Structure 1
Amino acid sequence: MFSDWKSLIPIVTSVVTSIVAIFAVILTCKQIRLSNKQHLFDKRLENYIIATGLIQLYRSNCKHINNEKDTPMLSNDMNFNFLTNNTYLEQITCAIYNSLKEPSHKELLIKLENLKEVATKIKFLFADNVSILLGDFVLRYQELLFEMYKYQTCINEINKENENHKLTLEEIAQKVGEKTCRVRLQEAFDNLKKADSVLKRANVEEQIKKQIKLH
């Protein structure tokens, strides 16, 4: 009888080992899923905070932005200040006063690339059409900042030419090709305004919040 039990020990040991291994695999899978879920939550929250920061910045300042259509936008630098006045964008605010100059130029280009990445990440991190709408808003914001930065070079040329006091503002603007730049800038303003209107109609912010929550 004892010898029979003795012969069963390896089998019992093998079964127990297998059961323990199975439980270990199950626990590992659960931990991986939880870790992935937490990572997704962190990434969603990080990019949502950036996007909502831009939304709030735009909505709180859009009424104060002097967006001339028929004359040179001499307040472009002030408008740029309004639209970069938060902790995520504040390091590029000074770039508008140092257009094409280092290190401000490089910092601005890096931040604009970061915004494009945020727009792309949002479209992959969130589900449904709301992800596309929110990502598009961020991209329109990025495009507007870049157009404002480029337009400032025209304004700088106008100011430089104006020091000679030989030509009128209209003549100087025509000389430096300001109108073409202004049209592109105006289109960028309009595109961002439309993107924001779509966010409001689709109640995107609330829908994104629901997707962020951990279940």
Structure 2
Amino acid sequence: MNINWESTLSVVTALTAVLALGLSLFQIWLSNKQQLFTKRVDLWLKLDTLLKLYGSNRKSIRHEYEEGKAGTVLFANDLDFIFLTNSADFNAMAGAIHKPLDNEEQSYFLTELEEIRKTAVECEFLFKGELAKSFSAFVNSYVDVLFAMYQYQIVINRMEEDAQEKEYNLERALEENNEPQVRKGLVQKLRELDNCYELILKRRYVQKVRKKIRL
């Protein structure tokens, strides 16, 4: 039996090329999966920090919501802000609540808020469906609350200055600085954040996202 070595060699070469291509595609797929895993882990670490910060201070924040809704001036606003930024990643923002009108502190604070908000965008790209939307909404609400607290602290500081320099009583200081309206805006943001957090707990999204990021 005569063997056509030329044809055999061609077949072997073709099979080798196909095998090499398949191996290359597999390596690309594995590399992409590894990159996705890394990005999801990095994102989850940011989300986990925010979730734990809010979860550990939820009782205090909900109390502030009820107090503000009832018409009480939120003099502990600066303390709540510090609690919500009490992590290695965010605690440098606390300077903004102590000196809200300082240009350097303000610039740093606004820049950091935008960095946190990018996390919300990443949620939409790295996860899917309602889970992605829920985490994205939570991050956006978190940023909105911090900014609303910052704005409210400016009002509180002006009220205290008016009381000292102009000898205004509390009622006049509230009126002159539009405190009820600004507080109402803050209270609304606090409620929205708590609703986002409650939805994540109710639908067990924390457990689900941990499963999704596993290889």
Task: State the TM-score, normalizing by the size of structure 1.
Answer: 0.89
Following superposition, the deviation at residue 17 of structure 1 comes to 3.7
Following superposition, the deviation at residue 13 of structure 1 comes to 4.9
CA distance in 1, matches of 2:78, 2:32: 43
Q: What percent of counterpart residues are identical?
A: 31
* Residue in 2 that maps onto 1:146: 147
Amino acid at match of 1:77: D
Q: How does 1:54-203 map to 2 (within 5 A)?
A: 54-65=50-61, 67=64, 68-69=67-68, 70-164=71-165, 166-203=167-204
Whether 2:40 is the aligned partner of 1:44: answer yes
Q: How many residues align?
A: 210
Please state whether the residue corresponding to 2:191 is helix, strand or coil.
helix
CA distance in 2, matches of 1:21, 1:102: 63
Please state whether the residue corresponding to 2:165 is helix, strand or coil.
coil
CA distance in 1, matches of 2:21, 2:104: 52
Following superposition, the deviation at residue 12 of structure 1 comes to 5.1
* Residue in 1 that maps onto 2:211: 210
Residues 140-183 of structure 1: per-residue CA shift (max 9 Å, x gap):
11110111111111112112112125210121111011111101
Q: 2:21 aligned to 17, 20, 25, which one?
A: 25
Task: State the TM-score, normalizing by the size of structure 2.
Answer: 0.89
Unaligned runs of 5+ in 2: none
Following superposition, the deviation at residue 15 of structure 1 comes to 4.1
Moved more, 11-20 or 69-78: 11-20
